[in-house]
Structure 1
Amino acid sequence: MIGHVVYAHGSPCPTLVLDARRLPSTDTSLLDRLAVARKWLADVGAGHILKIALVEPSEHPLFDLDYRFVQALPQGPTAFDLRGSCGHSILASIAASAESGSLPRLSPGMRVRVMVRNNGDHIVCEIAEARRESALFDIHFVQPAPKPLSELLLTGAASTVVEVDGETIPVSLVSMGNPYAFVAASALGLSRTEDLFADDPRLFDRLVRIRRATALLLGWPADGAFPKVAVVMAAEGGRIAVRAVSVPTWHPTIALTGAACLAAAVRIEGTAPWVAARRAGVLDGAVDIVTSGGHSSVTATVRNGVDEPELTWITVRGKRTTTLGSFPIEPLASLQPKEITACLSFAR
């Protein structure tokens, strides 16, 4: 079986993209296969790849691709989390699908419609630029029907208190693209972006403990990857500064789903991102995000609903992918005819 490795810029690691049609349909058998593949990847020096995307042409007439994300966890080759999604891996899947022939060659103006099997999200990715081994995307998180903003709150409240090491910490639990626990920098004693972006292992450990506490509060596995956790504060120039934790270290920027979730949270009164946005002078849905690794631009569009504002779509602009290569994955060789594997491995 051929694996395609694509790096979405700003992601913690590349994504391994696999053809879902060649893999088992049941979770137990699927994860058994992926565990064997992870062991092999580690043996050949690719153990740092912790994002796996399973993709296939969609049978639904409104979508081009069906996509499922698998987060490999650092606890060991058999540890995975199937709960959430990954926007960077969606882009990797599109690039790999164009490379393998499941999609036409990417070209400017082309739109690819993706159904996220993990959570039912509808994603439309518009190609702004296409080269031989790289592409630039604008990503739209589209609501099938406008969603009341209150329905994005995992606990029904803009702020929820969790107890961490005997201390109570207010967090905003918001789910859009992925579930996130947003923490105000002030709640952690941080007042400067320099401190937020410092290489501070104590801050990292504290955020990991907050993430674990919120997972237990939601009834989710404490050692999983979700909910994600991020600290937010107002920054200079009308921006919002964000520091997020990924698997297993700091996120170098912010996840695509994190940017989308942040933009949605900015529109919900009382959340930590809403407070940070007001302090930064951001009064609408257009948010400039600054991280330790760069900047992002995201816009959340809402409309007036019957009882409350409703989310219609979110757009994240200017995300690039680079295709790193394709190669046969030896322990999965039996899942694809030998002659097809041989041809695909030399297709580039």
Structure 2
Amino acid sequence: MNATIDRTGATHLVRAEGAPCPTLVIDADRLPAGDAELLEGLAGIRDGLDPATRRTVLKNAVVRPSAHPLFDLDYYFVQSLPGGRGRFDTRGSCGHSILAAVEAAARDGMIPPLEPGRRVRVNVVNNGDHVVCEVDETGPDRTRFTAHFLCTPARPVGDLLVTGEPVTHVRLDGRRIPVSLVDMGNPYVFVGAGDLGVRDTRELFTAGDELFGLLGRVRLAVCAHMGWDSSGAFPKIAALLPGPDGELAVRAVSVPSWHPTLALTGAICLGTAVGIEGTVPFSLARAAGHESGLVRLRTPGGPLRARARITGPADAPRLGWVSVADKYVSYEHTVAPPVGAYGLPSPSRSEDTSCLSLPL
């Protein structure tokens, strides 16, 4: 891409449909280099938000034009955690925030304007994911995307199973609960809602604090089993039930409550898991009548469609890519921090980015 760009350096609020909150999108050049310094600078930017926005907007995307010839945008996701200033988790990603970042970057001049057919190539700094955001439709304040998560080269599906096995059993209340730990887009724990006493989709979607707490305890049991730190946002957890005509019902936990739909990375991970023989999602999807190809997901907030491309021989399958269609993004407004705040210089409007890189 061109090394000389014209950009505003503004901070934006953008909402991806189905996300639990908008994303705060920040030009990386407003922040200092180094991971700890960047997070402190981000905390300073968030201090300048009005209290309601600071309390409810928990997703942050730090972006800049990519110096790598294969990408258009470098993206660094930071999840704000409840409980105090500067509590962040950078160990995962957020697909909805990737789309929000693309929308903001186009408005800010980091990348060309969005138009149908344009494909924006995003490098996820947190975990090395390669994501292509394909523009399907544009409007004054809303864009429709298809998100493609690529595996280059194609990854053995066994590498996506965190424990190396399709099913792992964890102990909870004297019982052994079968779960599948799959890592594609983000690490997820998938558990059959029936194993938690849920009888049907209506009960799954209307359940309140009791099921929410139970899923949290399953997640804690998984973290204890794996020796993981349970204080951050990852791994995510979702409960599944087979539905009619091959459909899979899913309800997921976000930070700090139920997810209104399913994270885009959750749809990517679940679409992948459905194609891996023996996993909890595979078995439940087969119980619903799903065989292969496009998988239809039903969430409390509406349907989703995911497709995973798995190739190779049956004894050595590989994942090529996973796609989720019909994702809408709406631009909300520009956030204008005070001039000279946080001791950081504003980015120049004509800047050579050929050797810039995000921390981490």
Report the Cα distance in structure 2 between the residues aligned to 1:154 and 1:332, rounded to whole angstroms: 43
- Corresponding position of 1:243: 251
- Check whether the contact 1:33–1:332 (CA below 8 A) recurs between aligned residues: no
Could you tell me the TM-score, scaled by structure 1's length?
0.93
Is the 1:213–1:222 contact (alpha carbons within 8 Å) kept by the matching residues of 2?
Answer: no
Does the Cα contact within 8 Å between 1:148 and 1:305 map onto a contact in 2? no
User: Are the aligned partners of 2:41 and 2:342 in contact in 1 as well (CA < 8 Å)?
Assistant: no
Task: Specify whether residues 334 and 44 from structure 1 end up closer, same or farther in structure 2 by C-alpha distance, changes over 3 A only.
Answer: farther
| Equivalences, count | 340
1:43-73 deviation per Cα after TM superposition (whole angstroms, max 9, x unaligned): 3644200000011100111100010100001
Q: State which of 179, 184, 192 in structure 1 corresponds to 2:200.
A: 192
Partner of 2:98: 90
Which SS does the other structure have where 1:11 is aligned?
coil
One of 200, 205, 218 as aligned partner of 1:210: 218
Q: Are 2:75 and 1:59 equivalent residues in the alignment?
A: no
Q: Render the CA deviation track for 1:184-214: whole Å, top value 9, x for unaligned.
A: 1121011200111014210001111222222
Q: Which runs of 5+ in 1 are unaligned?
A: 341-348
SS in 2 for 1:278: helix
Question: Is 1:270–2:270 an aligned residue pair?
Answer: no
Larger relative contact order (CA 8 Å, sep ≥ 6)? 2
SS at match of 1:47: helix
* Corresponding residue of 1:335: 344
**Would the aligned equivalents of 1:113 and 1:125 in 2 still touch at CA under 8 Å?**
yes
Q: Find the aligned partners of 1:37 and 1:216 in 2 and give their Cα distance.
A: 35
**Alignment map for 1:64-83 (pairs within 5 Å):** 64-83=72-91
Q: Which 10-residue stretch deviates more, 129-138 or 26-35?
A: 26-35
Q: Partner amino acid for 1:108?
A: P
1:219 shift after superposition: 3.2
- Other structure's SS at 1:174 match: strand
Q: Which residue of 2 aligns with 1:344?
A: none
- Whole-angstrom distance in 1 between the partners of 2:53 and 2:199: 41
Q: What amino acid sits opposite 2:135 in the alignment?
A: I
C-alpha spacing 1:306/1:269, structure 2 compared with 1 (3 Å): closer
2:323 pairs with 1:322 = no
| Aligned residue type for 1:300 | A
Identity of aligned residues (%): 48
Confirm or deny that 1:143 pairs with 2:146.
Answer: no
2:137 to 129, 135, 157: 129
In the other structure, the counterpart of 1:201 is 209
Matched, 1:310 2:318: yes
Residues 147 and 45 from structure 1, CA distance in 2 versus in 1: closer, same or farther, beyond 3 angstroms?
Answer: closer
Segment drifting more, 277-286 vs 105-114? 277-286
Paired with 2:12 and 2:223, the residues of 1 have a C-alpha distance of 32
More displaced 10-residue stretch of structure 1: 328-337 or 205-214: 328-337
Two-structure CA RMSD over aligned residues (Å):
1.8
Q: Which residue pairs with 1:19 in the alignment?
A: 27
Equivalent residues of 1:38, 1:47 under 8 A apart: no
- Out of 27, 42, 48, the position equivalent to 1:34 is 42
Quick one: which amino acid aligns to residue 144 of structure 1?
Answer: T
TM-score by length of 2: 0.90
Deviation at 1:244, TM superposition (A): 0.1
CA contact (8 A) 2:240 2:250 kept: yes
Structure 1 residue identity aligned to 2:206: A
Which aligned segments of 4 or more residues in structure 1 are displaced greater than 4 angstroms?
A: none
Opposite residue 309 of structure 2, the aligned amino acid is: T
Counterparts of 2:221 and 2:61 in 1: how far apart (Å)?
A: 28
**Structure 1 residues 42-51 or 88-97, which shifts more?**
42-51
Contact 1:253/1:291 (8 A) holds in 2? yes
Residues 263 and 285, structure 1, Cα contact 8 Å, conserved in 2? no
Change in CA separation of 1:48 and 1:107 when aligned onto 2, cut-off 3 Å: same
Write the distance in 2 (CA, Å) between the matches of 1:285 and 1:119: 26
CA contact (8 A) 2:30 2:346 kept: no
The residue type equivalent to 2:213 in the other structure is D
Deviation of the 1:338 alpha carbon: 9.3
Aligned pair in 2 of structure 1 residues 288, 338: CA closer, same or farther (>3 Å)? closer
1:42 is displaced (CA, Å) by: 5.0
Q: d(CA) in 2 for partners of 1:27 and 1:163?
A: 36
The C-alpha deviation readout for 1:287-326, integer Å capped at 9, x for no partner, is 0000111110110011114841111111100000000010
Distance 1:321 1:257 in 2: 15
**Who is 1:9 aligned against?**
17
SS at match of 2:140: coil
Contact 2:29 2:346 survives alignment (8 Å): no
- SS for the counterpart of 2:155 is strand
Preserved contact between residue 240 and residue 277 of structure 1 (Cα < 8 Å): yes
| 1:332 CA displacement | 4.1
Name the aligned partner's letter for residue 211 of structure 2.
Answer: L
Task: State whether residues 109 and 128 of structure 1, in contact with CA within 8 Å, keep that contact through their aligned partners in structure 2.
Answer: yes
Q: CA deviation at 1:107?
A: 0.3
* Mapped partners of 1:218, 1:258: distance in 2: 20
- Structure 1 residues 292 and 17, CA gap change in structure 2 (3 angstroms): same
- Classify 1:54/1:219 alpha carbon distance in 2 versus 1 (closer, same or farther; 3 Å): farther
